[in-house]
């Protein structure tokens, strides 16, 4: 069964460093998302992406964040200068359609630890 | 704004016990509702969904009914197994009003089933 994959599974970085989290969505999906979950808190929406541009972004997704689909398969989230509060589990998701009844398929997540 | 409220965990049950995990929502439009499950070390997997009022989603013995009058989508299972131990997330997606279909998640409820 097709699945969303994410790399790395765990990333440790120092404050102020840049990180890139990678995702390979399901191949025929057109809509892509990033969510994050700070330990013990809710899963929060960060950004949605369609047709090579951002569809919507949350207040969390400030100028330190960017997303890119550099080729036909990868979808990346970059944090330019990490802060301690960026430590969280980051989930990538994709969907075939953005209609309400279509589910999003999630990857296993990347745990980001900023020290 | 839209929101999802889930019962606090953890929930600890004996095998074959009846499970209910409460979920209520607030939404301006007519959301689709989802239950996702996360097993240890894995991503979020869709468990079931309902896209309109009075719909019942079901999968693997789990059920949830979309109740518009009580704005609820409670998850139930008649007889839990040890293998059901996981974290369960309630989520909504509402785009007809906002134009986007991001998920809004509850906090997640950890279920532990004892043999």
Indicate if the pLDDT at residue B90 is higher than 90: yes
Smallest CA–CA distance from B37 into chain A, residue: A106
Q: Which of A1, A30, A32, A106 best probes binding to B when mutated, by most B CB atoms within 10 angstroms?
A: A106
Tokens for B64? 């949830």
- Which pLDDT score, from 0 to 100, does residue B99 have? 59
Indicate if the pLDDT at residue A99 is higher than 80: no
The pLDDT tens digits of the residues spanning B91-103 come to 998 765 555 678 9
Please tell me whether residue B83 adopts helix, strand or coil conformation.
helix
What's the CA gap between A71 and A74, in Å, rounded? 6
List CB contacts (< 8 A) between B107 and chain A: 41-42
Residue A5's pLDDT band, with cuts at 50, 70 and 90, is: very high
The whole-chain average pLDDT of chain B stands at: 92
Phi (first) and psi of residue A85, to 5 degrees? -75, -5
Q: Which of A37, A42, A45 best probes binding to B when mutated, by most B CB atoms within 10 angstroms?
A: A42
What's the CA gap between A59 and A15, in Å, rounded? 21
- Which pLDDT score, from 0 to 100, does residue A54 have? 92
DSSP A103: P
List CB contacts (< 8 A) between B102 and chain A: 33, 45, 48, 56, 58
Cα atoms in the 13 Å half-sphere on the side-chain side of A112: 29
- Least confident among A60-74, B28-42, B59-73: B28-42
What's the CA gap between A104 and B2, in Å, rounded? 18
Who's near B40: CB < 8 A, 6+ residues apart?
A: B86
Specify whether the CB–CB gap between B91 and B3 falls below 8 A.
no
CB atoms within 10 A of CB B59: 13
- Write down the residue that tokens 């989290």 correspond to: A21
- Which pLDDT score, from 0 to 100, does residue B28 have? 81
- Which pLDDT score, from 0 to 100, does residue A42 have? 84
Tokens for A28? 């025929």
A80 near B CB under 8 A:
no
What's the CA gap between B15 and B76, in Å, rounded? 14
- Which pLDDT score, from 0 to 100, does residue B89 have? 95
- Least confident among A45-54, A99-108, B66-75: A99-108
Smallest CA–CA distance from B106 into chain A, residue: A42
The pLDDT tens digits of the residues spanning A69-83 come to 988 789 999 999 999
Residues of B with CB under 8 A from a CB of A: 31-32, 34, 36, 41-46, 49, 51, 89, 91, 93-96, 100-108
Task: Please identify among residues 22-61 of chain A the ones whose CB lies closer than 8 Å to any CB of chain B.
Answer: 31, 33, 35, 41-45, 48, 55-56, 58
> Average pLDDT in the A9-15 region?
97
- Which pLDDT score, from 0 to 100, does residue B29 have? 79
């Amino acid at each position: 069964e097709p699945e969303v994959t994410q790399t790395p599974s765990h990333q440790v970085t120092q404050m102020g460093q840049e990180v890139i989290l990678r995702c390979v969505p399901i191949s025929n999906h057109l809509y892509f998302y990033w969510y994050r979950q700070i330990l013990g808190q809710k899963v929060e929406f960060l950004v949605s992406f369609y047709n090579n541009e951002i569809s919507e972004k949350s207040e969390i997704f400030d100028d330190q964040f960017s997303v890119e689909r550099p080729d036909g398969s990868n979808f990346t989230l970059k944090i330019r200068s990490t802060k301690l509060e960026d430590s969280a589990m980051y989930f990538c998701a994709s969907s075939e359609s953005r209609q309400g009844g279509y589910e999003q398929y999630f990857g296993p997540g990347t745990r980001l630890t900023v020290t | 704004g839209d929101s999802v409220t889930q019962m606090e965990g953890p929930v600890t049950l004996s095998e074959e016990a009846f499970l209910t995990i409460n979920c209520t929502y607030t939404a301006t439009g007519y959301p689709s509702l989802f239950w996702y499950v996360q097993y240890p070390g894995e991503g979020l997997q869709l468990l079931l969904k309902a896209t309109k009022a009075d719909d019942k989603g079901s999968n693997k013995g789990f059920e949830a009914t979309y109740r518009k009058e009580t704005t609820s989508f409670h998850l139930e299972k008649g007889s839990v197994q040890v293998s059901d131990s996981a974290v369960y997330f309630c989520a909504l997606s509402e785009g007809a009003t906002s134009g986007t279909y991001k998920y809004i998640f509850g906090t997640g409820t950890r279920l532990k089933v004892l043999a």
